[in-house]
Structure 1
Amino acid sequence: MKIALLFLCLTSLLIQAAEPEFPLTPDSNPQPGIAQGTLLKDIYTAQENSVFPGTAREYQIYLPAGFDKSQPVHFMVFQDGVIYKAPVVFDNLIAKKDIPPLVGIFIKPGVVPAANDNALPRFNRSYEYDSITDTYSKFLINEFLPEIEKKHDLKLSHDANHAAISGNSSGGICAFMVAWHRPDRFRRVFTGVGTYVGIHGADQLPVIVRKFEPKPLRIFLQSGTGDNNLYCGDWWMANQMMERSLTWAGYDVDHAWGEGGHNQKHASQIFPDVMRWLWRDWQTDINVKANPKHESKWKGYEVVTENLWEKHSDVDASSPTGAVLLAKMDGSITLSDEHNARTLLHGNLQKPLPPSAQQFEFASTTLSPDQTVLYVKAKQDSFVYSFPISTSREIRSGQKFYQLETFGLPALENPSGLCVDTDGRLYVATSLGIQVCDQAGRVNFIIPTPQPAHDVCFGGKDLSELFIACGDAIYKRPTIVHGIISSQQPPLKPAAPKL
């Protein structure tokens, strides 16, 4: 009896552990009569002024049959070298005109060579791939691609609609982050068993996707029930969360779920069809658009339209403590050298100040619409303090009420400008963009800006345009809501927040 039970238990475990087969389709195998592209192999060694100094990395370049080097070409970048049998798939799909003739660029992660035979090299893979910062995108776009273009006489298209990027596991999240940070260069993404977990902050991505204004990206995700479940997170659940967030935010997204493990098997099987999906309509309408079906639930659409930022002026909008924008009731915008010049109570020319002058030196301030709360953001702080103002205009009972998002990026060195709308939302200029908070202290959404903005205020007709100061330029964007100028308008009580 014991032997029979043991046999049944072992059989059950083997059945549970068995991974399904993922046979490749003919598109992943060489086909007779199909012209084959060529592969170049090389090594890139970074200089000391590189984003990743001292690293060496192998790479290969796929050139399609009949490649014309004289014209800008579509291309696709892969992390971790050649994966998914991509060169063979490219041969077959290009011949069928399912995808455009493109160059494949297969890059391995950087390694800093060992000091001697008894030492290990420094493996840069996780440092480069698992980060949610823009470091790798800077390396790839500003350093690596220009170098290989020059060395191998290539003309890679600078049209973001002509570029795709892919990777497996950590290479997948790396691919996603490159497109996320630089949709002006990459707009098509495929990630296999993507590492959207808590190694270097990628577990925040499902929230980041929901809070940021939708970007012009087309994304395909693959994972399975047998994917990793480790100290830093559950890959299978994380990929599903990413897909749900991307769908909620209105992205052009698709997925393939299965029962596979943390490997390339399932991704390799579906790779030809993924390429067809990513490059669909490439001969007719190649443009990848943000929120293409207009189904996004991004809360920012309660405030702004889909019209983007427009440059308002080229005046010098920088100062030692950040630019200060001033609006008048006629909507005109001027600049002031006076810090927090907008923070004035109606009928009172004296600025309300936070209690601790030393703690809040050069802090940015603004008033609530009803002028009973002073909002204060200190220099290089990720919090905005809330100080109630009593009827006798005493300021006290302050607390860190708004916790701003950082997502691994440093705070602005200069103070970040603040303003409010008539509904009581708080707008904060940050390195990430304009963070917009509800009255309950929560960041609801983030409006990206052309450059890091130092100040923000409402202006234009009926105070229905949002103005930002970015370095040496001022930009504006139409809004659905209206701003308020505390010094020129009486207190306005907004509706209570939804808790």
Structure 2
Amino acid sequence: MTSPTTTAPTSGHQRKLAINRLRDRLATSDTGAVDRFLQRHTAPIIEGRFATFLWRGDAEEVMVRHRVVGLPDPLHLRRLPDTDLWHATIELPEMSRVEYQFEVVRGGVREQYLNDPLNPRLAHGPFGSQSVAAASGYVVPSWTLPDPEARPGTIDSISLRSKALRREQWIRLYRPARFREVRRYPLLIVHDGDDYLNYAAAKTVLDNLIHRGEVAPLVAAFIPPGNRLVEYANYAPHARFVARELVPYLTEELPLIDLPDGRCLMGSSFGGVASLSTAVRYPSVFGSLLVESGSFVFTDIGAEHGGGPVFDPVVKFVNGYRARPRVVADRIYQTCGIYEPLITPNRSMVSTFRDTGMEVRYAEARDGHNWENWRDRLRDALTWIFPGEQKFVYE
């Protein structure tokens, strides 16, 4: 695994970086050098394998905060002498994508979770936005952006009274363009459905991939959770709702393929745990699972997992499955970012799944635990699970 690393600004290569050229100009008493420098450069400055973070302003301390395994957190910036410009340079491998914020101490007051005012690029999530550092080679995939030539599918909000959950459960139901009652469609059920729609461009991705013929026309049920830390942590009522209430209801109401091969259950983080635990409880319902950065925390030795009490039921479930692995679906598409703390348990689960005889496709990305990482993996996952050339059409 190649991770970002801090780099001292003393090597022969690094003397050529923009920040070091600026240092040389400042040594000649060029008072306008910083202003011109910031007019020419957008932060962070990407130069080959190096990324230089910048902050301008009076402060006692400036730090980059992030969730990148292998990179010091906080990453301290240094002030250029006799200026108000702070900087830190790291090695950032090609194709990497890192989300970050600043922590700044000014006048003895610590300010946290500040986006980079010198960087217009932001990623959004349920807890707000973060700045994005994109290394050389990374571009936002074209199929995640609105395509005026792609005929849009529709999304309707429906409500289903759940006996298992003892509440009304809202569902955002996606139908593809050219939806017809005479066809039968595969079904994709998505945990954290509103977040996938709002922060991972899920509808745009489906519209584009179906329009391009890369993914079979499908129906998708985007389900938001109640208390996700409870309901997604191997919670029997949630699994019963999905397998014994939602699937039968949708199969009765819509022209769906009423076979496991035509159903996929997906989720990220705790939603990945919910997908696996539902399939464990109801192994005959789903033919495929799509699991992104699953929170598969386990303890092979000892009882301390470091995740806090909310992870206790997850650890108990994953420990139990690892002790008695079994087939729960025909295929699993599993992905994780190499900069995530969850990378080690996810890698370990690949062999656990494969040892059961299930077909597993596993992909890693130079990214972290975030929605745009999960968005960027959808094309490879969905074209494998529901390929466009496969004829899911039943007269």
**TM-score normalized by structure 2?**
0.57
Task: Tell me what 2:377 maps to.
Answer: 270
Task: Tell me what 1:140 maps to.
Answer: 242
Deviations 1:111-131 (A, max 9, x none): xxxxxxxxxxxxx21221111
SS of residue in 1 equivalent to 2:377:
helix
Task: Tell me what 2:233 maps to.
Answer: 130
**What are the equivalent positions in structure 2 for 1:373-388 lying under 5 Å apart?**
none
Task: Tell me what 1:368 maps to.
Answer: none
For 2:185 and 2:98, the matched residues in 1 are separated by 43
Q: Which runs of 5+ in 2 are unaligned?
A: 1-59, 62-75, 81-85, 100-132, 299-310
CA contact (8 A) 1:179 1:187 kept: no
Question: Aligned-pair distance for 1:163?
Answer: 0.7
Q: Please point out which of 192, 215, 233 is paired with 1:80.
A: 192
CA contact (8 A) 1:206 1:242 kept: no
Deviations 1:375-430 (A, max 9, x none): xxxxxxxxxxxxxxxxxxxxxxxxxxxxxxxxxxxxxxxxxxxxxxxxxxxxxxxx
For 1:243 and 1:159, the matched residues in 2 are separated by 25
Task: Tell me what 1:423 maps to.
Answer: none
For 1:8 and 1:221, the matched residues in 2 are separated by 42
Matched, 1:194 2:294: yes
Task: Tell me what 1:107 maps to.
Answer: 223
CA contact (8 A) 1:24 1:268 kept: no
Question: Aligned-pair distance for 1:43?
Answer: 3.3
Q: Which runs of 5+ in 1 are unaligned?
A: 111-123, 229-234, 287-499
Deviations 1:166-210 (A, max 9, x none): 112111111122233333221211122211126244335376256
Task: Tell me what 1:169 maps to.
Answer: 269
Matched, 1:92 2:204: no
Letter in 2 for 1:142: R
Matched, 1:56 2:168: yes
For 2:290 and 2:149, the matched residues in 1 are separated by 29
Question: Aligned-pair distance for 1:77?
Answer: 0.4
**What are the equivalent positions in structure 2 for 1:146-295 lying under 5 Å apart?**
146-148=248-250, 153-197=253-297, 199-203=311-315, 204-205=317-318, 208-209=321-322, 211-228=324-341, 235-280=342-387, 283=390
Question: Aligned-pair distance for 1:71?
Answer: 4.1
For 1:108 and 1:70, the matched residues in 2 are separated by 29
Question: Aligned-pair distance for 1:72?
Answer: 3.5
Task: Tell me what 1:429 maps to.
Answer: none
How many percent identity over aligned positions? 22
Question: Aligned-pair distance for 1:67?
Answer: 0.9
CA contact (8 A) 1:37 1:63 kept: yes
Change beyond 3 A, Cα 1:213–1:93: same
CA contact (8 A) 1:210 1:249 kept: no
CA contact (8 A) 2:216 2:391 kept: no
For 1:265 and 1:146, the matched residues in 2 are separated by 32
SS of residue in 2 equivalent to 1:166:
strand
**What are the equivalent positions in structure 2 for 1:449-488 lying under 5 Å apart?**
none
For 2:77 and 2:141, the matched residues in 1 are separated by 39
For 2:288 and 2:236, the matched residues in 1 are separated by 17
SS of residue in 1 equivalent to 2:159:
strand
Task: Tell me what 2:302 maps to.
Answer: none
SS of residue in 2 equivalent to 1:76:
strand
Deviations 1:270-318 (A, max 9, x none): 21121112224862799xxxxxxxxxxxxxxxxxxxxxxxxxxxxxxxx
**TM-score normalized by structure 1?**
0.46
Question: Aligned-pair distance for 1:146?
Answer: 3.4
Task: Tell me what 2:42 maps to.
Answer: none
Task: Tell me what 1:32 maps to.
Answer: 148
Question: Aligned-pair distance for 1:15?
Answer: 7.1
SS of residue in 2 equivalent to 1:68:
coil
For 2:77 and 2:202, the matched residues in 1 are separated by 44
For 1:81 and 1:197, the matched residues in 2 are separated by 23
For 1:137 and 1:227, the matched residues in 2 are separated by 27
For 2:330 and 2:145, the matched residues in 1 are separated by 29
Deviations 1:145-181 (A, max 9, x none): 334556xx31332200011111121111111222333
For 2:88 and 2:143, the matched residues in 1 are separated by 36
Deviations 1:25-66 (A, max 9, x none): 1222222322111110133343xxx1111x333321110111
For 2:185 and 2:230, the matched residues in 1 are separated by 30
Change beyond 3 A, Cα 1:206–1:276: farther
For 2:262 and 2:359, the matched residues in 1 are separated by 16
Letter in 1 for 2:333: F
SS of residue in 2 equivalent to 1:195:
coil
SS of residue in 2 equivalent to 1:226:
coil
Matched, 1:43 2:146: no
Q: Please point out which of 65, 69, 90 is paired with 2:177.
A: 65
